[in-house]
Amino acid sequence: MPHLSGLFLIDCPASALNNAGKAEGTNTDNAIAVKAIKTREGVYPYVSAQAFRYWWRETLNEIPGWTPSPIFREGKIAYTDANPIEFSEDDLFGYMRAPSKKEDARKQREEKGLLASATAMEDGATLTRQSPLKVSTLVSIAPLFNVTTDFGVMSRHEGDPVPYEHEFYRSTLQGIFSIDLAMLGRFYHIQRTGYKHLDEVRVNLAKEKGLQEYDNGKAYQLPLEERHRRLEMLLQGLSNINGGAKLALHYTDVSPRLVILALSKGGNHLFSTFVGATNKGLPVLKMKALKEVAEVFKDEILSGIYVGLMQGYLDDQRAELETALSEISSDDTYGKRKTFLGHPKNAIGEFLKDLTFEREKWLS
């Protein structure tokens, strides 16, 4: 079951990318706090995985060919169309579609025509699909003594000015992600939690579209070219990602400053120990950890190791990284594996270029 492991760093010079609402114990009624993990060591600002996935989804809408899934809401329930055959978003981000089964809710849907444009559902069915794309919380690589509180005032009106407060921080956020390539473009229709991707309506649609059966008829799969295309669009979205809160006051470029990618046979992440922090809270790349991964998993890693590092960022560590990658690509200890070092966008592009030649193996 091939999985793509990825790690990335976001540089936050003075940022408030994900807020937690009203700050307690402040002098103003409209003080806003950033999301942070409070520990004995200090405060770790973070961006929730949900927020980061939202940035990723929104960026993907700008990629030609990407198909977002429509959203339907009834009361406090919201769900997507749950049609991974038609919508690449449902395929890669997963879904749960469970319309209310109460008779009054069903009648209301019919009277309002709520689902007139939706793919029909088999009566009584509940569809769930675990997301092939898995994303961590983005957490500061080092604790801060405290986050900074900024004071402002709204005074463009007659009368007393209105003071407000908000928090921001200076740090580096690290995130990891994994993509289950074996599940990308493959849809099960069995009675098992997380594997009831298709109901009878969608099974018939799969047959109409000419999808091949997979896993002894338990699933259907998209053509290899379409699975390749969807992965390509997903990674293009990461390389162009943008988003975040408080951008009018604390504009931050959230595209990765560092990214590292590799494909392996198992689902365990390869690079979670690659980045550490100095006693000043600055990122440090751990070359011994990188080489250990290449050595220990040389029989499990299916691809090269692709590293993207922007010029002007961690320049003092670039030469040592180049040496480590050169050893990995030339020494039998590490399997003489292909390595790549360039801009993060080019590193992702190099992986996608190699995917073109290896997709029958990598997407098997």
**Residue 27, pLDDT above cutoff 80:** no
Answer whether 320's CB lies under 8 Å from 284's CB: no
The band of 194, judged by pLDDT with boundaries at 50, 70 and 90, is confident
Amino acid letter, residue 186: R
Distance CA 176, CA 163 (A): 38
Strands 31-34 and 162-180: parallel
Query: Amino acid identity, residue 253?
Result: D
Instruction: List, in sequence order, every beta strand (DSSP E) within 189-257.
Output: 212-214, 219-221
15-45 burial, b for 16+ CB within 10 Å, e for fewer?
bbbbbeeebeebebeebbbbbbeeeeebbbb
Cβ neighbours for 330, distance < 8 A, ≥ 6 positions apart: 336
pLDDT digits (tens, 9 = 90+) for 301-354: 999 999 999 999 999 999 999 999 999 999 999 999 999 999 999 999 999 999
Q: How much is the pLDDT for 155? A: 64
Residue 112 has pLDDT above 60, yes or no: no
Among the ranges given (142-151, 185-194, 213-222, 307-316), the one the predictor scored with the smallest mean pLDDT: 142-151
Spatial separation of the C-alpha atoms in residues 322 and 258, rounded to whole Å: 14
The alpha carbon of 35 is separated from its chain's Cα centroid by a whole number of angstroms, namely 18
At 74, the pLDDT band (50, 70, 90 cuts) reads confident
**Res 117 pLDDT > 80:** no
CA 11, CA 276: separation in Å to the nearest integer? 14
Q: Which of 118, 131, 122 is nearest to 81 (CA)?
A: 118
**pLDDT value for 73:** 76
Give me the pLDDT at residue 214, please.
96
Domain-wise residue ranges, the chain: 3-48+137-185+228-362, 71-132+186-221
Long-range contacts of 82-87 (CB under 8 A, 24+ apart): 82/119, 82/127, 82/129, 82/202, 83/119, 83/202, 83/205, 84/129, 84/185, 84/187, 84/197, 85/187, 85/202, 85/205, 85/206, 85/209, 85/211, 85/220, 85/222, 86/119, 86/205
Poorest-pLDDT segment among 41-55, 118-132, 199-213? 118-132
Instruction: Provide the pLDDT confidence category of residue 24 given band limits of 50, 70 and 90.
Output: low
pLDDT at 270: 96
Residue 20 pLDDT class (50, 70, 90 cuts):
confident
Which pLDDT does position 148 carry in this prediction?
Answer: 83
Cα separation of the two ends of the chain: 8
Which of 3, 360, 10, 344 lies closest to 173, judged by CA? 10
- Residue 3 pLDDT grade (very low, low, confident, very high; cuts 50, 70, 90): very high
pLDDT band at 212 (very low <50, low <70, confident <90, very high): very high
